[in-house]
């Protein structure tokens, strides 16, 4: 297998994956949980305003159609699936056009706008993590009916589980809702402990359901998102990253990483990997030209400052012509090119142990 990369990945994975069917079959499926960083279109089938099923979303996706991915093209699970010799896209579980035949080699349960905190998904009426797990349990029953007990159990235990969420808990919940802050005595550290505790319980539940190979994603530098640079909801000025938010990301990531080490010792047969996306994003944002990007501070869509969802639309005269030149697609989500390079880094450095 040959890698050719420029550099060694929440949201929300990069360097084009020049790998030819990496040990195809060793990981028989990619199973995804999380938020908009990895949602391949489940929110299209949920009563919520958090959608990306309209142009210019998906303009660089095969066929040029919006799929519900918050990107101009493919997202990390798609690239990871391809790198493992599986299909090039991971379908959303709630899409009625797919069935267990397609889901047997990869399925996405993620929902844009969700988080570890149940209150986060309730704010925007998206699928809570608990329901993602319920859908996964339903999937297991369908898989056993489709493949038989023995084969289905092999897929469940050998599949790679990709988890990416947490950003919404802070940016759409904690920092916008005084009730949430008050519940944790206005201590973001207490809230971090609460979220990491849920993440730990979630991994333990997946393990009890048969999962053994798991990638648990950390937070990207939240203070460097174009929207946060513009809003400056926690200090900072102008186009500079919001240092306080980045500190929150790093503190959350540190505790999540420690939990990964702990669970690897406690849970029998598990291989749990912490996906460090913070350092990669920070590097690309601050040294964007070094990696072929034109701009690491603002997004391709519209003015690139605060638009996402319906504010990022096809009638905007400002949306860039070539999204490959931008680290971010909209003010909250990375471009396909960024997803591609980060995904390759994850496969090369963290996920290769599953090959």
Written as six digits, the tokens of 176 are 């916008």
CA distance 202 to 212: 13
Closest CA to 40 of 85, 83, 80, 100: 80
Catalytic residues: 36, 330, 333
CA distance 278 to 241: 13
What is the β-pairing status of strands 106-108 and 30-34?
A: parallel
CA torsion angle for 260, 264, 265, 269 (degrees, to 10)? Answer: 160
CA distance 38 to 27: 19
In the three-class reduction of DSSP (H, G, I as helix; E, B as strand; rest coil), residue 36 is classed as coil
Question: CA 69 → CA 57, 151, 349, distances in Å?
Answer: 7, 31, 25
Q: Count CB neighbours of 278 within 10 A.
A: 23
Q: DSSP for 89-113?
A: S--BTT-TT--HHHHTTEEE---TT
For residue 233, what is the DSSP state? B
Written as six digits, the tokens of 44 are 């299209």
CA distance 112 to 42: 8
* Contacts for 48 with CB less than 8 Å, ≥ 6 apart: 113, 124, 125, 126
CA atoms within 13 A on the CB side of 307: 22
């Amino acid at each position: 297998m040959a890698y050719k990369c420029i550099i060694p990945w929440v949201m929300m994975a990069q360097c084009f994956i020049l790998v030819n069917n990496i040990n195809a079959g060793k990981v028989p499926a990619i199973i995804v949980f999380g938020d908009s960083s990895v949602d391949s279109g489940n929110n299209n089938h949920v009563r919520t305003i958090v959608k990306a099923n309209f142009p210019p979303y998906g303009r660089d996706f095969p066929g040029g159609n919006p799929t519900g991915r918050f990107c101009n093209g493919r997202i990390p699970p798609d690239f990871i699936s391809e790198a493992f010799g599986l299909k090039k896209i991971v379908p959303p579980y709630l899409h009625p056009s797919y069935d267990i035949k397609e889901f047997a080699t990869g399925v996405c349960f993620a929902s844009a706008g969700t988080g570890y905190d149940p209150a986060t998904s309730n704010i925007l009426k998206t699928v809570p993590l608990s329901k993602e797990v319920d859908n996964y349990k339903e999937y297991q029953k369908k898989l056993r009916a489709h493949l038989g007990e023995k084969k289905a159990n092999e897929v469940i235990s050998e599949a790679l589980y990709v988890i990416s969420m947490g950003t919404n808990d802070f940016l759409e919940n904690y920092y916008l809702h005084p009730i949430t802050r008050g519940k944790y005595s206005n201590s973001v550290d207490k809230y971090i402990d609460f979220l990491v505790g849920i993440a730990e319980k979630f991994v333990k539940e997946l393990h009890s359901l048969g999962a053994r190979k798991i990638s648990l994603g950390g937070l990207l530098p939240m203070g460097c998102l174009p929207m946060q640079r513009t809003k400056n909801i926690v200090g900072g000025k102008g186009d500079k990253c919001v240092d306080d938010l980045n500190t929150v990301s790093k503190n959350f990531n540190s505790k999540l990483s420690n939990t990964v080490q702990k669970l690897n010792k406690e849970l029998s047969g598990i291989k749990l990997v912490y996906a460090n996306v913070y350092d990669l994003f920070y590097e690309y944002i601050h040294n964007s030209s070094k990696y072929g990007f034109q701009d690491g501070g603002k997004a391709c869509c519209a003015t690139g400052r605060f638009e996402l969802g319906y504010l990022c639309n096809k009638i905007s005269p400002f949306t860039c012509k070539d999204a490959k030149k931008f680290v971010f697609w909209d003010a909250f989500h990375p471009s396909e090119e960024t997803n591609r390079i980060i995904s390759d880094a994850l496969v090369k450095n963290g996920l290769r142990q599953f090959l």
